[in-house]
Amino acid sequence: MVDFFLSPLQFQFMQRGLLAVVLVSGLCAIVGCFVVLRSMAFLGDAMAHSVLPGVAVAYLLGANLMLGALVAAVTVALGISFFSRRGSLREDTAIGILFSSALALGIALISTIRSYAVDLSHILFGNVLGVGPNDLIWIGVLGISVLLILALAYRPLLVLAFDPILAATLRLPVERLRALLLIIISITIVVSLQVVGIALVAAMLVTPAAAAFLLTRRLPAMAAASAIIGVLSGVVGLYASYYLNIASGAAVVLSATAFFLLAFFFSPRRGVLTARLRNLREGQPPKIVS
Amino acid sequence: MTDKELIPQPQNAWLELEHVDAGYNGSLALEDLSFHIPQGVRVALVGPNGAGKSTLFKVLARLIPLRKGEIRIHGLPLGHHCDCLAYVPQKEEVDWQFPVTVKDVILMGRYGKNKWVGRMNKQDNDVAMRSMSQMGMSELADSPIADLSGGQQQRVFLARALTQEPHILLMDEPFNGVDMTSQEKLFDILDDLRNKCVTTIVATHDLNLAMKKFDLVILLNHRLIAIGPPSEVMRRETIRQAYGSQALDLGEMIVVDECCKE
């Protein structure tokens, strides 16, 4: 039994991979609470995909890939608010346009690189076993900064998420807080790139937080539960990928989905099946949850 | 009786609007609106659907910019200093599944004033606890807001607004979908606020309440139709002017038909 857990760790790349997965999935899960509560799931996905041209440009220029990704994510996020704030476009339309354009631009750029098939799949789906010591330091530093900023701006971000009208009447700097949240999400996505890849990072932002939402009653508890679910999914996914020989990013995301389904059906307060059971036990006809 | 002495003379206008134009993209929802409201009075804001009641509130709360004209509070232009204004929007405006407790929401009223980090101080807590018990929400302090009834939701919003310690309180349709207990509680609070010299402006569809329970009535339909004491404003001709064919004359009384819009 002990062997089951320890034997993969005899490889250094597995040790680093495990550490990276734990850090990244914990971070994504906590930031994801705000993504879920502000209904930004689609935006998060769009920002993740729009990272591609940034990575490609950085690759072509020989610059830092993470930096390129970060610049691209922030640019697209600001572009979305620019197009939708003018009032003539709905936000989801603006997201749909910018996100697919950015993805197309990224693919166009990468297709000019000779060996693009391999690189593209690493960017799209992640390569946790290729995490180097330097990457780990970057993940750690950026992750801790994001969590610190979240802790400092917790109250205004909470008000903004719950009731933007109150935030405005309290004279909180609403626009700057919105931008801050977008930057936090961008950094989180960029940090997660290597572990889950741009195609799957949205799942790490949304799924553990959604499961935690079903299980808890207050935001701090939700963030804690989300982090636990995220980290567990990361660890379970990585071991599954080692023993079943499947892609690590996909394994992590599928584990998170499994946790979400458990919460959806069996959450004591909001679970679909628990509500049915309660009704049956109390002798009432089952209520259809809409 | 000291409370009474605080009430200023009616000629002291403390909320002043002059030639105010406002609206969303393109169209104007409010045109050339001018009126003065003295401090500490209870005002009913009435008018047909789409008359611009919510727009007026949002302009006062600085959620929509002013197109033209000027708004002054305590003699100073809007946004010039602390506006001391709290806004209770319709309760449908927020997601009641949000994972916060009643107490969390009420404490949000104190989040302005640069209280970003660190603990809330004792005064913040005391104010929040007081408004919570005023609204009869103390037993529910630790309940998630998802468990509240419609009337309780309205009371949480009002308690939060009280926690902001406003000089002017705006309420958008607080009587909609609210049980009698909550409505009575609301008027207790409004009496208390009047004693504390807080101006309250309440948008309502209920002309009967506007007639009986308020000091001033503003009748609005894109423009100001009338402002004054209920007995002056709530007359047949003015109501017909605001509501048009929605107003039905039944001889002794006039009824406004809100559900059948042309």
Residues 1-30 on B with a CB inside 8 Å of A are: 25
Q: What is the dihedral of CA A69, A74, A79, A85, to 10 degrees?
A: 160
Q: Is the pLDDT of residue B84 over 70?
A: yes
Q: Which chain A residue's Cα is nearest to B170?
A: A169
Q: Is the pLDDT of residue B81 over 70?
A: no
Is the CB of A162 inside 8 Å of chain B's CB atoms? yes
**Percent with pLDDT over 70 in chain A:** 94
Instruction: Provide the 8-state DSSP code for B31.
Output: E
SS3 (DSSP) at B250:
coil
Residue B249 β-bridge partners = B254
Q: Is the pLDDT of residue A80 over 90?
A: no
Cα(B204)–Cα(A83) distance, rounded to whole angstroms? 36
Q: Which alpha helices (H) appear in B48-149, and where do they start and end?
A: 53-60, 102-107, 122-134
Number of Cβ within a 10 Å radius of residue B89: 22
Amino acid B261: pLDDT = 42
- For the segment B89-123, what is each residue's pLDDT rounded down to a tens digit? 888 888 899 999 999 999 998 887 655 665 678 88
The domain limits of chain B are 82-166
Domain A2-281 has CATH 1.10.3470.10: yes
Superfamily of domain covering B82-166: P-loop containing nucleotide triphosphate hydrolases (3.40.50.300)
Q: Would you call B108 and A156 a contact, using CB atoms and an 8 Å cutoff? A: no
- For the segment B168-203, what is each residue's pLDDT rounded down to a tens digit? 999 998 888 777 877 888 898 899 888 888 899 999
Amino acid A254: pLDDT = 95
Q: Is the pLDDT of residue A257 over 80?
A: yes
Amino acid A224: pLDDT = 97
**Cβ–Cβ < 8 Å for B62, A181:** no
Q: Which residues of A touch B163 (CB under 8 A)?
A: none
Cα(B125)–Cα(B129) distance, rounded to whole angstroms? 6
Q: Which range, of A41-45, A116-120, A124-128, B160-164, averages the lowest pLDDT?
A: A116-120
- For the segment A91-119, what is each residue's pLDDT rounded down to a tens digit? 788 888 888 898 899 888 888 876 655 56
User: Chain-wide mean pLDDT for chain A?
Assistant: 86
Average pLDDT value for residue range B225-254:
76
Q: Is the pLDDT of residue B56 over 50?
A: yes
Chain A closest-CA separation from residue B125 CA (Å): 15
Q: Is the pLDDT of residue B251 over 70?
A: no
Of B104, B112, B146, the CB nearest to A170: B112
Q: Which candidate, B112, B115, B86, places its Cα nearest to that of B199? A: B86
Of A154, A155, A168, the CB nearest to B61: A168
**Percent with pLDDT over 90 in chain B:** 18
The domain limits of chain A are 2-281
Per DSSP, the residues of B140-152 read GTTSBGGG--HHH
ipTM > 0.90? no
Q: Would you call A172 and B111 a contact, using CB atoms and an 8 Å cutoff? A: yes
